[in-house]
Structure 1
Amino acid sequence: MSFVSVLPFADTFAYWWRELDGDPRRIRFMTVKTLEVSAFLGNRMRGHSKAPETAQPLLGHASQRPPNTVPIDPVVVVVVPVYCRSDRDARSVEALLGGLGLQSSRCHVLLVDDGSPRWRAPAVEVIRLDRNLGPAAARNRGVERALEFGADVVAFIDSDCIPAPDWVANIIPAFHTERRAHAISGATWSLDRTALGRYQERNGTLNGRRLRGEDRLLYGPTCNLALCGELARCLRFDESFKIAAAEDIDYCFRANQQGWSIYHAESVVVQHDYGYDELAPVGRVRRLWSQFRRYAEGERLLLRKHPDYHQAFAGSTEISLPSRTDV
Structure 2
Amino acid sequence: MTIGSAARRAHLEVQQTVLARSGVRRVVVWLDDSPPPGLTADELVSVPPGPHGLRLAAARNAGADRALEAGASLIVFLDADCVPSSDLLDRYAAAADAELDAVLCGPVTYLPPGVDALDEQELRRHRAPHAARPDPADHSLLRAPPSDYPLFWSLSFALSAERWRSGPRFDEAYEGYGGEDTDFAFHLRERDVPLVWVGRADAYHQHHSTSSSPVQHLDDILRNGRLFAERWGEWPMTGWLREFERQGLVSRDGDGWRLGASTASGARPGG
What is the TM-score normalised by the length of structure 2? Answer: 0.66
Corresponding position: 1:227 with 2:159: yes
CA distance in 2, matches of 1:200, 1:303: 30
Match of residue 184, structure 1, among 97, 104, 122: 104
How many residue pairs align between the two structures?
211
Listed as ranges, the matches of 1:109-258 within 5 Å are 109-116=26-33, 119-124=36-41, 125-132=43-50, 133-177=54-98, 179=99, 181-192=101-112, 201-204=130-133, 210-211=144-145, 217-235=149-167, 236-258=169-191
Corresponding position: 1:272 with 2:189: no
Letter in 2 for 1:247: E
Match of residue 233, structure 2, among 291, 304, 307: 307
Q: Which moved more, 1:153-162 or 1:131-140?
A: 131-140
Query: Matched residue of 2:107: which SS?
Result: strand
Q: Which runs of 5+ in 2 are unaligned?
A: 115-125, 135-142, 237-271
CA distance in 1, matches of 2:12, 2:178: 20
Query: Matched residue of 2:106: which SS?
Result: strand
Letter in 2 for 1:108: R
Corresponding position: 1:83 with 2:5: yes
Query: Matched residue of 1:243: which SS?
Result: coil
Contact 1:84 1:116 in 2 (8 A): no
Q: CA deviation at 1:90?
A: 1.4
**Alpha-carbon spacing, 1:244–1:266, altered in 2? closer, same or farther (3 Å):** farther
Q: CA deviation at 1:262?
A: 1.1
Contact 2:177 2:217 in 1 (8 A): no
Contact 2:84 2:204 in 1 (8 A): yes
Q: CA deviation at 1:102?
A: 2.6
**Alpha-carbon spacing, 1:131–1:292, altered in 2? closer, same or farther (3 Å):** closer
CA distance in 1, matches of 2:226, 2:127: 27
Contact 1:181 1:262 in 2 (8 A): no
CA distance in 2, matches of 1:136, 1:122: 22
- Greater relative contact order structure (CA < 8 Å, 6+ sep): 1
Q: Which moved more, 1:156-165 or 1:116-125?
A: 116-125
Match of residue 96, structure 1, among 6, 15, 24: 15
CA distance in 1, matches of 2:179, 2:144: 16
Query: Matched residue of 1:171: which SS?
Result: helix
Letter in 2 for 1:231: R
**Alpha-carbon spacing, 1:129–1:217, altered in 2? closer, same or farther (3 Å):** closer
Q: CA deviation at 1:289?
A: 1.4
Contact 2:149 2:186 in 1 (8 A): no
What is the TM-score normalised by the length of structure 1? Answer: 0.56
1:40 match: none
1:58 match: none
CA distance in 1, matches of 2:183, 2:217: 18
CA distance in 1, matches of 2:12, 2:29: 12
Q: What is the percentage of aligned positions where both structures have the same residue?
A: 20
Contact 1:90 1:119 in 2 (8 A): no
Q: CA deviation at 1:131?
A: 4.2
Q: Which runs of 5+ in 1 are unaligned?
A: 1-78, 277-283, 311-327
1:289 match: 213
